[in-house]
Amino acid sequence: RAPVYAHKSMGEGVHPTLAFHQITTREANNTLDTLLPNAAEANIVAPTWYVLSDNAGNFISYSDANYVAKAHAAGKKVFATINNFDAGKIDLKSLLSSGKKREKLISALLSDMKAKGIDGINVDIELLPEKAARDYLEFMRELSIACRKEGFFLSVDCYVPYKYNEYYNIKELGTVCDYVVIMCYDEHYAGSEEAGSVSSLSYVRRGIEESEAVIDKERIIIALPFYTRVWITDKSGKLRSEAMSIKAAQDWI
């Protein structure tokens, strides 16, 4: 019989509003104080605290109990984000196809979360090779069961659904996770062959409609970019771009 996955929510009538906080050093945790006043509407802060560092299930951690205490005092939950790209290329097939490696990784993550008082985890696995898709789903199922047992929230980041990335299987991820974050950005990115919007209205609309078709809309978070790109064509006709924050873009204009 297929397992039944219960879902944890923010509470009756409370919609999740999540703000990512880019953390790449322990010292960066100290910037929370200056950012909180600008994130009054957010009820979840997702610092990028865990970085996969090898194919054996080890990771770098920037987690900080004091940060969690400050966020809680401001009325916000903390979802620690784990990614597979800040410490170099990880062989996801090698890592996720091993039951022992998955168990080691999940156990270490939950142990750290408990120790720091973290509320949940946000999984940001990008550029997943199709050959590792089934292993990835198995990892997410196992992580879901472990999180539910310990009372943690589980959210996952996914691309805007297209045919070429359908093996991510957002329907199944929506079954095992509490929240699914649809990354409605990087429609055009640094290596794009043509200039264009980072997040056009039609791209965002597709992200909403495609995910809403297979996941309960109460558990979908649409992620929007607080940055843009300035596109430059040099004299030889070569195209390049520069990413800019909202403030930098205003100054440039």
Is-contact 150 110, C-beta < 8 A? yes
Is-contact 177 156, C-beta < 8 A? yes
Instruction: Specify which residues 52 forms β-bridges with.
Output: 59
Model confidence, pTM: 0.94
Q: Which residue has the tokens 């390049």?
A: 240
Question: pLDDT tens, 40-72?
Answer: 999 999 999 999 999 999 999 999 999 999 999
Instruction: Please give the pLDDT value at position 92.
Output: 97
Instruction: Please give the pLDDT value at position 237.
Output: 87
Instruction: Please give the pLDDT value at position 201.
Output: 97
Counting as low any pLDDT under 50, the low residues of the chain are: none
Instruction: Please give the pLDDT value at position 6.
Output: 86
Q: Is 158 helix (H, G, I), strand (E, B) or coil?
A: strand
Report the candidate in 77, 80, 82, 83 with the shortest Cα–Cα distance to residue 17.
77
Question: pLDDT tens, 64-107?
Answer: 999 999 999 999 999 999 999 988 899 999 999 999 999 999 99
Instruction: Please give the pLDDT value at position 87.
Output: 85
Q: What is the 3-state secondary structure (H, E, C) of 54-113?
A: CCCCCEEECCCHHHHHHHHHCCCEEEEEEECCECECCCHHHHHCCHHHHHHHHHHHHHHH
